[in-house]
Structure 1
């Protein structure tokens, strides 16, 4: 083999070797770059994965701000808007209102009671008193009193009647005539009491002719003399008087 041929062959061998080394180096570099790219991508995924919880945490924190201890619906907000302070204030206001209402109610009740208590018994000196005969029932009269005191008054019980100067006791009351309530007279109103003077069948005893009538009211020693119809009336042991009535018909029933 000539030197020239040998030299050419060696040069070719060296070129092939160099080309092979170049290829190997390229493959190695590619592999390294591929590994680094994968690593970068993996790192990127890791960052993304880490970033996602961070965002969620941020959202959670945001939710916590809305609903947490310092938020509008949290314990702080609850204490501020609906907590014990507001509740106590509302409760206090309610109790105050109830107490005021109760006081007003009691005051009204007391006023009503006082108003009723102010109605006292009628004063015989402030009453116009008269007596008159009636056709039915027979042997009956009716006693009428009219209030001119200017204020309401109560006609208590029944009138105490003393017929004639020699009468030993007041005329007995007819118990069945007792009304359900005391008769109250407003100014100008009239109350009535029926008087049976004697028995219709003549069964009464100890009869006498009375020429005067003195009227007393229950609970008072004051009296008024009343003129009798015709100047006199026959009285016997069956004489009776009714309780005060607000209606004439009840007085003669």
Structure 2
């Protein structure tokens, strides 16, 4: 009987120790999990604080449509491998073109610097009688325009209703084309008749038409000048007109 009680007591003590051991293990496990949870919590809080402490980047405004004439900003291009490293290249903006740039067109000269052909429209022409040489008239043309004009070759004359142009004295051709600045004059002399008895009898004329030669030989340019002749003017087919001369004396020497 006594041995049974001792045995029962030993078994009871053993069961009590086992229960206490299990309780202790559960508590340790619970404390371990709590410790782990407690250690992880500050890390999460730290991350949240860092995320909220960084300033939020402002949203990029939409680019407005550039105004006319504005210069575009340089375009930036990035090239490189997929690892993220790359080289930044800056491309200059395209050059601005301005159709209204001054100097443009074409280096075209202004109207004040252009030249023209002397005609009845940009000159004043007159005819007068001279004492020397005899049977001569003096033709004077003055540039009344605002541009330089060229008096090409010789004037082409017609007396009254004559069909043919009055003969031109080729020996009077100057070394260069006569150039008239505004206000300047050129001269040509008219020999009315040839040697007496060398041809038809002289005939009277009251009107003279002066046509101006163009740049090309044989051409006529612009409008003609219509002049009244001095009284008692007579002419024949053996007369002549000189080329335009820059000096009156040069014209009257023929």
TM-score (norm 2): 0.51
The aligned residue for residue 123 of structure 1 is 119
- Partner residue of 1:133 out of 129, 133, 142: 129
Query: Deviation per CA, 1:14-67, whole angstroms, max 9, x where unpaired?
Result: xxxxxxxxxxxxxxxxxxxxxxxxxxxxxxxxxxxxxxxxxxxxxxxxxxxxxx
Matched, 1:156 2:157: no
Residue 114 to residue 151, structure 1, CA distance change in 2 (3 Å): closer
Question: 2: CA distance between counterparts of 1:162 and 1:210?
Answer: 10
The aligned residue for residue 229 of structure 1 is 230
Q: Which runs of 5+ in 2 are unaligned?
A: 1-106, 214-219
- Partner residue of 1:187 out of 173, 182, 185: 182
Larger strand percent = 2
Query: Deviation per CA, 1:51-89, whole angstroms, max 9, x where unpaired?
Result: xxxxxxxxxxxxxxxxxxxxxxxxxxxxxxxxxxxxxxx
Matched, 1:142 2:143: no
The aligned residue for residue 220 of structure 1 is 221
Higher Rg: 1
SS of 2:163 mapped into structure 1? coil
Deviation at 1:224, TM superposition (A): 1.6
Higher mean C-alpha deviation, range 187-196 or range 220-229: 220-229
RMSD: 2.8
Question: 2: CA distance between counterparts of 1:241 and 1:221?
Answer: 20
The number of residue pairs the alignment matches comes to: 143
TM-score (norm 1): 0.51
SS of 1:217 mapped into structure 2? strand
Larger helix percent = 1
Q: Which runs of 5+ in 1 are unaligned?
A: 1-110
